[in-house]
Structure 1
Amino acid sequence: MLCQVFPEEYQTQLDHKVARLQALLPAQTEVRVFPSPPQHYRARAEFRVWHEGDESFYIMFDGDSKQKVRVDRCPMAIEAIDALMPELMAAINADAALRHKLFQVDFLATLSGEMLVTLIYRRPIEEDPAWSDSVARLKTQLPITHVIGRARKQKVLKDSDYVVERLTVDNKTFVYQQVENSFTQPNAYVAQQMLGWARGMAANYLDGQGDLIELYCGNGNFSIALADKFRRVLATEISKTSVASAQFNIAANQVENLTIIKMAAEEVSEALAGKAFNRLQAVDLASYAFQAILVDPPRAGLDDLTRHMVTEYEHILYISCNPETLARDLESILQTHDVLEAALFDQFPYTHHIESGVFLKRKA
């Protein structure tokens, strides 16, 4: 889509997504829809940089023609990124140290006002004092909180490699560290609605006396927001960076009933079946009374072992980024569970991507 937005077409494309999701869910399932702002919604953006003579500019490549397209502004990006883009490129064009062999510019912003810019080069920058001085000036002249310089086998930090987002849900503020090059929800407006829906499922259907287990927890996005709805929460994640970020977020949100362990979903299945893991020596699995399981798998959906494991829980909260693999997984899960509620979260307007949530309960 190359950064274009079409607000007049937004509702039509959303309706198509709803129809597609409903066709994949059990008949008569009502889908609650959480729309996105029709423009200025992405908190992440990446652009290649093209050099022609004395001018450099952002480009993207057309998905069909594969041709480069100049991009000066990006109304898909949140307003802070969209406004910064031309100012930053003007500064780059005016400074040889910033411009020389610059290959790509990445933006990571927050609703809370922080901005991280990554400048990626095809030359060494670590020992370049002129580049370092230029970056220091950038931060005083433009609304940039942090700058990262990257080159082959080099990563130069100017302050920090993360921003701190603050999301408001149910009149509560949740704090999340978002690390450069790590997965975070790109549409913070819809992310707030996703957390609100998940909290609503717990509040409406569970009594708050049981425990929650979450697989694929990332930086603790859902676990932290749901912690006050359960007695205790045990969450697992395989990425070392995400686990470290989750620990940061647990402390920042002063959550005391959440434990994060670095394990793959398949290993969790084995551990719950009785297999011993050194990483679980400090975790007394037998002391948990899991009332629900939350899964937020990658696009491939659940593996065979995990798909079977989730059916052992009374309630299942399934967050999906791929409706086709969700439908495949539900074929198995619906043998033991019924869908109570479903939702569509329009994280990615003007694309075919669908983010959805399904809340299930074991059959009577």
Structure 2
Amino acid sequence: MALHRVNPEDYSQQLQQKAARLCERFREYTDLEPEVFPSPPSHYRLRAEFKVWQEKGKAHYAMYRQGEYKQPFIIEEFTVGSELMNRLMPQVLEAVNASEVLRRRLFSAEFLTTLDGDALVTLIYHKKLDEEWEREARALQDRLGFPVLGRSRKQKLVLERDYVIERLQIGDRTYEYKQVEGSFTQPNGEICRAMIGWAKDACQDSEGDLLELYCGNGNFTIPLCEHFDKALATEISKVSVASAQENIRANGITNLDIVRLSSEEFTQAIDRVRPFRRLRDIDLDSYDFSTVLVDPPRAGLDADTCAMVARFPRILYISCNPDTQLDNLAELSKTHRIERFALFDQFPYTDHTETGLLLVRR
């Protein structure tokens, strides 16, 4: 995570400047002003990883500026982190520094928290974790009131659980998500709620079926299902697919199927280029897809997936990289126009911008 200056008093002005830059970049494709969804100005980040800098027998949380990995930036405060994270950080560090077993060869600490008040602490080592470590870690776990997990090379020691449960209030319904340590989750909880709410609003009065690529743990798919007859979602990560299946059951969803396929593989499947055993229980011909939701990694959509997506009447395109989204728009704009345009400020005080587009066939 990049180091940056955090001053809540400057946040509104910085966000206005970010929105103005985004408008200019997308001006070739739309005259719409973006719907701007601001982040809380502080305590907005739900997960974070810190390096542990050890000096004179004492551990410190640290980060590094890019290219300066031998010059740590010691973390004395972390106001961008959730309030729960800020309560746990000093307790963990105090326990680590009071225990040679917990401190020795510790090189990283990760915190995963939720808006709903759950948390998981992961300690990562350059040593094998033994029974002595487990005893000390369990004592820390009891003190924190939240689970502690240990990792080292080829070793994962789960003392209680390796996940948190998040509950998000979207409109008049609460959705429950299992979020597994090490898998992707949205780092800014309030922006996550805003993104889901915006997507649901864009799907009001939809007809037909929904396809989602890169669905993760079902973060978007599960709330959107109520607006469609059926939904099919794909994800390549085994851990995320397993979480999505559990989240489907936890939320009582009955019209959604998840399959473990990459976007490239699904494109091959729907174009009948090759069959996939993972689709043996899915009848693609039974779907009447009207909308596709894509939330790709920073690389954006590959050319074949972009061409496949262009065949849908409506495209919801969430992006963490406007550069590659604009590259894809060069093709998608030939068949679709932008009907809605949104800015989600996932990472305040940085140049990072996340966008949402609703594209409708011309």
| TM-score by shorter chain over 0.5 | yes
Matched residue, 1:270? 268
Query: Are the equivalent residues in 2 in contact too, given 1:41–1:78 (CA < 8 A)?
Result: yes
Query: Are the equivalent residues in 1 in contact too, given 2:206–2:228 (CA < 8 A)?
Result: yes
Please say if 1:115 is aligned against 2:91.
no
Following the alignment from structure 1 to structure 2, what is the Cα–Cα distance between the partners of residues 345 and 211?
26
Q: 1:138 to 1:340 in 2, by over 3 A?
A: same
Q: 1:210 to 1:90 in 2, by over 3 A?
A: same
Matched residue, 1:356? 355
Q: How does 1:175-214 map to 2 (within 5 A)?
A: 175-203=176-204, 207-214=205-212
Q: CA deviation at 1:61?
A: 1.0
Following the alignment from structure 2 to structure 1, what is the Cα–Cα distance between the partners of residues 359 and 336?
6
Q: How does 1:27-66 map to 2 (within 5 A)?
A: 27-63=30-66, 65-66=68-69
CA displacement 1:241-265 (0-9 Å, x = unmatched): 1111111111111100000011111
Following the alignment from structure 1 to structure 2, what is the Cα–Cα distance between the partners of residues 96 and 232?
55
| Identical aligned residues as a percent | 48
Matched residue, 1:221? 219
**More divergent stretch after superposition (14-23 vs 155-164):** 14-23
Following the alignment from structure 1 to structure 2, what is the Cα–Cα distance between the partners of residues 29 and 304?
26
Q: How does 1:326-345 map to 2 (within 5 A)?
A: 326-345=325-344
Any stretches of 5+ residues in structure 2 without a counterpart? none
Following the alignment from structure 2 to structure 1, what is the Cα–Cα distance between the partners of residues 231 and 240?
17
Query: Are the equivalent residues in 1 in contact too, given 2:150–2:157 (CA < 8 A)?
Result: yes
Q: CA deviation at 1:4?
A: 4.9
Give the AA of the match of 2:202.
Answer: M
Matched residue, 2:25? 24
Matched residue, 1:295? 294
Matched residue, 2:97? 93
CA displacement 1:311-346 (0-9 Å, x = unmatched): 111111000010011111111111111110010000
Any stretches of 5+ residues in structure 1 without a counterpart? none
Following the alignment from structure 2 to structure 1, what is the Cα–Cα distance between the partners of residues 47 and 113?
6
Aligned CA-pair RMSD:
1.4
Matched residue, 1:231? 229
Give the AA of the match of 1:129.
Answer: E
Matched residue, 2:151? 150
Query: Are the equivalent residues in 1 in contact too, given 2:299–2:324 (CA < 8 A)?
Result: yes
Q: CA deviation at 1:208?
A: 3.7
Q: CA deviation at 1:229?
A: 0.7
The number of equivalent residue pairs is: 357
Please say if 1:83 is aligned against 2:81.
no
**Any idea what SS the aligned residue of 1:2 has?**
coil
Matched residue, 2:251? 253
Following the alignment from structure 1 to structure 2, what is the Cα–Cα distance between the partners of residues 261 and 27?
35
**Any idea what SS the aligned residue of 1:77 has?**
coil
Give the AA of the match of 2:121.
Answer: V
**More divergent stretch after superposition (53-62 vs 147-156):** 53-62
Identify which of 100, 104, 107 aligns with 1:103.
107
**Any idea what SS the aligned residue of 2:234 has?**
strand
Query: Are the equivalent residues in 1 in contact too, given 2:4–2:349 (CA < 8 A)?
Result: no
